[in-house]
Structures are given as structure tokens and as C-alpha cells.
Structure 1
Amino acid sequence: MTYVITQPCIDVKDGACVDVCPVDCIEGEAEDRQLYIDPQRCVDCDLCATVCPVDAIFREEELPPEWEHFTAVNADYFATCEAGERS
């Protein structure tokens, strides 16, 4: 499984999660409103969730129902990168 960044990250983007990620799977451009976890690179280590100051990061299988769509939001971000739609 993977971890997913959800609603509380929007317009916060603290970045502590980026600093602790051992596989550099958390990204986001300056113009993005939140950070994103690449589900293909995430190794399910839990470090990002433990340092998030706004409790925005959840294991995919433990997402609150109202934020389940963020699984697709995170995956879609990286799909557009692979398709060349992002620089």
C-alpha cells in the first residue's frame, strides 16, 4: 500500500514530509496547492505521517471517507508528470 496526502495539506505544504522521505516520493511544484506522494515509489515507511504538522497523511486503507478521492489526486499528479504534461 501507499500513503496519501489529503485536504489538510492544501495551502499549507509544510514540507517536513519531504525532508524525511527516504525514497524522495513526495513532490509538488511551487504553484501546486498541496504536496503529493507517488504511489509507485512510496515504500510505506510511515515517516511522512509521523512528522506532518497538520495530520494530512494517511495510509491508503485508513483514509477518512471524505478524503478517499485523494488517492486518485495523488496518483493523477504523477501520471500527468509521466505523460509530459508537467515540467
Structure 2
Amino acid sequence: QPATWEDAKKDIQNFIRRLKRRYKKLDKELKYIYIAEGRTRIHFHMIINNAELYSDEINELWPHGMHKLMLYQGRAEDAVRLASYFVVKLLS
């Protein structure tokens, strides 16, 4: 749990750096988008392209608590769900 927004920013930047290194080892390019939110509990919502990373590998790269993985399969309804989710998060 980051104590400040500055701590949270450092945490997510470190996570992205570790992800980029892992993707590079897999000969993949990391693509991502994220938003931060929270007044009392700062946390992130992030979409990344899949490079065959699994939950235990994400745990290694993000040691700051839980994560939830959801697979985006490229269907229109998946795109609508993702867009709706991010719009709600941005407007709330």
C-alpha cells in the first residue's frame, strides 16, 4: 500500500520497467495503458498485451498486493466492456 501518490508513481514505474525487461526476454514489445485511483487506498487498473505471462510471474513483478488477470480475446463485446470500464473509472 503506497503511502503517497509519489510512492504509487514510483511503484508503477518500477513495475513497468520490470515488465519491459521480462517482455524483452520473450522477444516481445510491452504495450500498456493504466489509470491510478483512490483517495484512501491508491491502486491501479492496467491493460497489457499478453506475452504468455502467468499470474505467478505477475506476482514476482508486482510485490505490492493482489492483482486480477482477465483475458481480452479480441471480440467486439470484450472491447466494449474494456472501454466502458475505463470510461467509468476516468469519470468517477
TM-score (norm 1): 0.39
Structure ranking higher in helix proportion: 2
Q: Which has the larger radius of gyration?
A: 2
TM-score (norm 2): 0.38
